[in-house]
Structure 1
Amino acid sequence: MKLEAVIPFLGKYRPFVGRCCQTCTPKSWESLFHRSIMDLGFCNVILVKEENTRFRGWLVRRLCYFLWSMEQHIPPCQDDSQKILESFGVQSVISERAGGSELTSSMKKEVQHILGHIQAPCYSFLLRIFSWLMLRFLNCLFLNVQLHKGQMKMVHKAMQAGSPLVLLCTHKSLLDGILLPFVLFSQGLGVLRVAWDPRICSPTLRSLLRKLGGIFLPIETLSLDSSEGVLTRAVVHAVVEQLLVSGQPLLIFLEEPPGVQGPRMSALGQAWLGLVIQAVQLGIIPDAMLVPVATTYDMVPDAPSDEYRALAPLGLWTGALAILRSLRGWGGSHRACVRVHLAQPFSLQEYTSNARSCWGSRQTLEQLLQPIVLGQCTAVPDTEKEQEWISVTGPFLALKEEDQLLVRRLSHHVLNASVASAAVMSTTIMATLLLFKHPKLLGEFSWLTEETLLRGFDVGFSGQLRYLVQHTLSLLRAQVTLLRIHQGDLLVVPRPGPGRTHLARLSAELLPAFLSEAVGACAVRGLLAGRVPPEGPWELQGIELLSQNELYRQILLLLHLLPQDLLLLQPCQSSYCYCQEVLDRLIQCGLLIAEESQALWSSCSSF
């Protein structure tokens, strides 16, 4: 039998993304995988027709959205306030404050007051009306909302195991908090509890979101050592424990909201994840299934074309005006697409046990770098991200140092899986080509798409190339200028100022696919900078021989210099393994050629 090598290309072959880590969770990697995942294809979540209801007829075709919303199954919502009040942690704090006396009515009111700021009972009729409005709103705003059926099969399989689902998501838009609950609610996962950031919502909007399933963490009291802060922490622990025991799925954002300057990882999201880990460690629940989630947009609806607005609390009327503005600006034939990505679920208990068994003797960054500073050692140590041992403040005050390390490693691990499973959209590829001045957009668009697929990243589009490029340019019409030239050719020029800034923000979504090559190219340039005279032209004269040890050292220095929120390296992966991966990528793309010198030392040649 003759075998023919086929290169993946647009519209025919797509790489499979979303498998969990085989090193940290081998049992989940084998048992929670759907064998026929690639044969199931995609579905448009917001495409609801007459066939999606039990009824048929002329009137049903016009009321299918409303009938579909009324037929969705909503599990009965139980009031757990009494169970939370009777929980061991809350009773212990109250008994300490009351001196061992019985529970008074004032203490009950205080606990109820704290509980009212965290969550509220869900109303079935309000959820159905909200689902109907969301269905109409999303159909007006987006062309489609795509979801892979095979990924949904894996989540349903994990849900059948009996453990509660904890979905850990990226945060690309403020719309994520209502889009993801609607998508998963329509797929039969029930009412999704969303851990919202209280800083981005006004009190009125928080009250509405709590009735729709939102929960809020009062971080202003968790960081205090007063008696009120201790009682609030006990109530929050009891809320999370009751939520997990009841089996309700929980959605946590591991990234900061869009527009926030600073680190990428959210301290608030890690605090929620720490509460889940503590519930498993204390035996409240035997296990929890973690699902990395990512949402990608052609164009983010709440992102202005010039720059992100200052992060101010979003009010109810402000949100309504933003929706109307989005419908007016995004309506018509040029609507964007959305992809929701659900990576393979894995067991939190399995990850925790494997992660702790791999921890050996550790040193702080100060202990590792002190011999180099004093001149006692010249080799750069493999710190393996020991910067994570730096003390933190805020919601982590209630966690032990070892638990903090576990939360941070798990957060980086899950966020790495979410980013790796997120598809690259057509606007991202087009923005990259426009910024780097590629003249032939049709050919270069196809080339960059193939390069993205070859690096194991999926793309969120398909179709004929010419119509796909036309659709992408129509979405970017506010950031580019179209000029018709002779023979029917079209010249695309990025608009200066805010338009170019927005294109740069879009092109940044392509960085994870080419991050290894970027780190390797910076390392090679750093080594060659010492060999080229400062006043001379930056051109290589022939072939330069670079030692593999020198490249390793330079890449390690870059890894220690670059922020960990940008690299998002897996904690189970050694830095030297990543260095070898960087060299392999550079050799694969033709920037380096591996040679073996006469002294049997491995070396690389650079062009």
Structure 2
Amino acid sequence: MKMVHKAAEVGSPLIFLSTHKSLLDGILLPFVLLSQGLGVLRVAWDPCTCSPALRALLRNLGGLFLPAEASLSLDSPEGALARAVAGAAVEQLLLSGQPLLIFLEEAPGAPGPRLSALGQAWLGLVVQAVQAGVIPDVTLVPVAIAYDLVPDSPGDVHHAPAPLGLWTGALAVLWRLRSYWGCNRKVCVRVHLAQPFSLQEYTTNARSCWGDRQTLEHLLQPIVLGHCTSVPDTEKEQEWTPVTGPLLALGEEDRLLVRRLSRHILNASVASSAVMSTAIMATLLLFKHRKGVALSQLLGDFSWLTEEMLLRGFDVGFSGQLRSLVQHALSLLRAHVVLLRLHQGDLVVVPRPGPGLVHLARLSTELLPAFLSEAVGACAVRGLLAGRVPPEGPWELHGVELLSQRELYHQVLLLLHLLPRDLLLLQPCQSSYCYCQEVLDRLIQCGLLVAEETGSSRAACDTGRQRLSAKLLWRLSGDFSDSDSDDFEEAQGRCFRLSEQSRCPDFFIFLCRLLRPLLKAFAQAAAFLRQGQLPDTESGYVEQLFKFLQTSAQEDGLFEYADPKLAMSAVWTFRDLGVLQQTPGPAGPQLSLSPEFASQDSQDKLEQFIRQFVCS
């Protein structure tokens, strides 16, 4: 907060760009920031999340709503007029120095990509005003908001919540105040502000790191089908957020700037977000103690996972005595857990089987940013070992296998390209090869990988100076020499093996399971290609796949992947991969199987490629 106050003293308008966890965020955040002396915020609202009555009230209170006509085509007079009015409003707002709050994530429960098209439209208007010289600069402040229990969370997680009405919003606020005063269970919310930065400074620095990108179809499809084995030395191009009228009105370079700026800010917001006790509890119950756990052991695991979060530089949104924290988290999750009392006085906590596990899986994604590098690395190692030793084999057998650094990088790159960018949230300036280096470093730091010493003069665990191609070279900190004396083949020839420490098997499986819901949904989507009814519209095929996921979940008991958002993510990934192709139809665009994946053999290769990363 001190940095934000210092940035406000400079005189540039403050633009707060926030995550979006609840429909009440637009009401709560202005009060929180006003209480900290940052003035009255103007909030850019999504009209779809508000009832007409609430929309009229918020507009009178200073809320901003983008006209629906602003999304019309560029040659539409109504669209041009609406965009001009919205742009003039933003310019006047910036000239007056009033702070503005924009949500960069879609409303909670909304189907579609994570990045909000509306949020990018508002940010594009701000960028346009600065580029036109209306105002010299603005200060961008990433904001993260986290709840241990989202106030408007629907009972049915498969459907988006209804638009927030005037009375429902007031009742929700009063109900939470009543909870705070002790008449009901207390719910905690944490708001975090990341490092403010200048838009002009970001614009100057960002353009220098824009490189060429290729589609997922060109990067991954030849490897899936076995046509080649090497991954091209380029980045993945994947944009799921639709481009609306306000962005189309910008130049191509400015549109790219807004997209990458949005991802950069969302990355900073998520990295600074607090992890709540319910997210830690849901993760433990779903991925570590699926069949139940004694409360005494759950206390120890809760403490362990909290320490792991703090060691990775992530904040937690709770404090107090350990037993009270665990009891509080269980009380908030009581609809999804079963408590069994033993004769010895201890309790056994069992996650309630059924579709409610989807709720626990969604809560567990709050921990994924802290463990994402290790989870990607663990799944990549799992894929390497899948063809060598039985997945259920003893850990000692896994530890015998040597894993070369070249193989590890290759496998991590394959998984990185498969995973959606909305999940990874890599910074636009961070290359996939640099991320591979980070993954390997994390696996060594957490003790899962042990370097196999060779006869080389350099220790095998020295990962500071190596490169993957002629374009990339990692050097020790402070070494700016232009020497090319490093032996590339030597660096790529280094080997590692899995550690034989007693804690490693459980931690390795835990990391792999963090990505299991998504990867399992992708694998089931590949299996569904044999029986899906195509051609069909995108929404129709997503509905088909979701019903198949529900049926499969009933059979194997892993309900956490029966999520409509995962079904949609799988369909979009397969479309990018060239498995599904989009063709025009009488009722709109139709999805059909591409010729490359029309055969049973190609579909089997795709499913096998995905299942190598899936942990049981």
TM-score, length of structure 2 as denominator length: 0.69
Shift of 1:424: 0.8
Structure 1 residue aligned with 2:260: 409
* 2:212 is aligned with 1:383: no
Structure 2 residue aligned with 1:336: 187
Q: Could you tell me how far apart the structure 1 residues matched to 2:234 and 2:452 are?
A: 29
Q: How does 1:179-328 map to 2 (within 5 A)?
A: 179-224=28-73, 225-307=75-157, 309-320=159-170, 322-323=172-173
More off after superposition, 365-374 vs 485-494: 365-374
Relative distance call for 1:353 and 1:555 in structure 2 (3 A) is same
Q: Could you tell me how far apart the structure 1 residues matched to 2:430 and 2:246 are?
A: 28
Task: Select 1:350's aligned residue among 168, 182, 201.
Answer: 201
More off after superposition, 471-480 vs 452-461: 471-480
Would the aligned equivalents of 1:200 and 1:312 in 2 still touch at CA under 8 Å? yes
Shift of 1:324: 6.0
Relative distance call for 1:333 and 1:363 in structure 2 (3 A) is closer
Q: Could you tell me how far apart the structure 2 residues matched to 1:538 and 1:381 are?
A: 35
Shift of 1:503: 2.2
Amino acid aligned to 2:31:
F
Amino acid aligned to 1:353:
T
Relative distance call for 1:538 and 1:197 in structure 2 (3 A) is farther
Q: Could you tell me how far apart the structure 2 residues matched to 1:312 and 1:475 are?
A: 22
Q: How does 1:486-505 map to 2 (within 5 A)?
A: 486-505=343-362
Question: What SS does the corresponding residue of 1:293 show, helix, strand or coil?
Answer: strand
* 2:421 is aligned with 1:564: yes
Structure 2 residue aligned with 1:135: none
Q: Could you tell me how far apart the structure 2 residues matched to 1:465 and 1:554 are?
A: 39
Q: Could you tell me how far apart the structure 2 residues matched to 1:223 and 1:522 are?
A: 44
Relative distance call for 1:393 and 1:370 in structure 2 (3 A) is farther
* 2:461 is aligned with 1:604: no
Q: Could you tell me how far apart the structure 1 residues matched to 2:495 and 2:244 are?
A: 45
Shift of 1:358: 3.1
Relative distance call for 1:553 and 1:393 in structure 2 (3 A) is farther
More off after superposition, 525-534 vs 260-269: 525-534
Q: Could you tell me how far apart the structure 1 residues matched to 2:83 and 2:353 are?
A: 50
Would the aligned equivalents of 2:124 and 2:246 in 1 still touch at CA under 8 Å? no
* 2:404 is aligned with 1:547: yes
Q: CA RMSD in A?
A: 2.8
Shift of 1:334: 2.2
Give a deviation string over 1:61-111, Cα, whole Å, max 9, x none.
Answer: xxxxxxxxxxxxxxxxxxxxxxxxxxxxxxxxxxxxxxxxxxxxxxxxxxx
Would the aligned equivalents of 1:223 and 1:395 in 2 still touch at CA under 8 Å? no
Task: Select 2:12's aligned residue among 145, 160, 163.
Answer: 163
Unaligned runs of 5+ residues in structure 2 are: 457-489, 500-616
Q: Could you tell me how far apart the structure 1 residues matched to 2:159 and 2:166 are?
A: 17
Shift of 1:327: 6.5
* 2:271 is aligned with 1:420: yes
Question: What SS does the corresponding residue of 2:334 show, helix, strand or coil?
Answer: coil
Q: Could you tell me how far apart the structure 2 residues matched to 1:542 and 1:310 are?
A: 45
Relative distance call for 1:357 and 1:533 in structure 2 (3 A) is closer
Relative distance call for 1:368 and 1:596 in structure 2 (3 A) is farther
More off after superposition, 310-319 vs 443-452: 310-319
Question: What SS does the corresponding residue of 2:82 show, helix, strand or coil?
Answer: helix
Q: Could you tell me how far apart the structure 2 residues matched to 1:363 and 1:384 are?
A: 5
Task: Select 2:330's aligned residue among 470, 473, 478.
Answer: 473
Shift of 1:375: 10
Give a deviation string over 1:108-139, Cα, whole Å, max 9, x none.
Answer: xxxxxxxxxxxxxxxxxxxxxxxxxxxxxxxx
Q: Could you tell me how far apart the structure 1 residues matched to 2:266 and 2:156 are?
A: 28
Q: Could you tell me how far apart the structure 2 residues matched to 1:542 and 1:200 are?
A: 52
Q: Give the % identical residues.
A: 75
Q: Could you tell me how far apart the structure 2 residues matched to 1:370 and 1:259 are?
A: 30
Structure 1 residue aligned with 2:546: none
Shift of 1:181: 0.4
Per chain length, whose mean CA-contact separation is higher, i.e. which structure has more relative contact order (CA < 8 Å, sep 6+)? 1
Relative distance call for 1:545 and 1:315 in structure 2 (3 A) is same
Task: Select 1:513's aligned residue among 350, 370, 382.
Answer: 370
Give a deviation string over 1:451-489, Cα, whole Å, max 9, x none.
Answer: 111111111111221222222222223332323223321
Would the aligned equivalents of 2:238 and 2:421 in 1 still touch at CA under 8 Å? no
Structure 2 residue aligned with 1:177: 26
Question: What SS does the corresponding residue of 1:509 show, helix, strand or coil?
Answer: coil
Q: Could you tell me how far apart the structure 2 residues matched to 1:388 and 1:297 are?
A: 28
Give a deviation string over 1:203-249, Cα, whole Å, max 9, x none.
Answer: 22111111222101124442233111111111111111110111010
Q: Could you tell me how far apart the structure 1 residues matched to 2:268 and 2:133 are?
A: 27
| Count of equivalent residues | 454
Question: What SS does the corresponding residue of 2:144 show, helix, strand or coil?
Answer: strand
Amino acid aligned to 2:183:
G
Unaligned runs of 5+ residues in structure 1 are: 1-151
Q: Could you tell me how far apart the structure 2 residues matched to 1:312 and 1:389 are?
A: 24
Amino acid aligned to 1:307:
V
TM-score, length of structure 1 as denominator length: 0.70
Amino acid aligned to 2:497:
S
Relative distance call for 1:562 and 1:217 in structure 2 (3 A) is same
Shift of 1:364: 4.4
Q: Could you tell me how far apart the structure 1 residues matched to 2:164 and 2:253 are?
A: 36
Relative distance call for 1:321 and 1:468 in structure 2 (3 A) is closer
Would the aligned equivalents of 1:267 and 1:395 in 2 still touch at CA under 8 Å? no
Shift of 1:532: 3.3
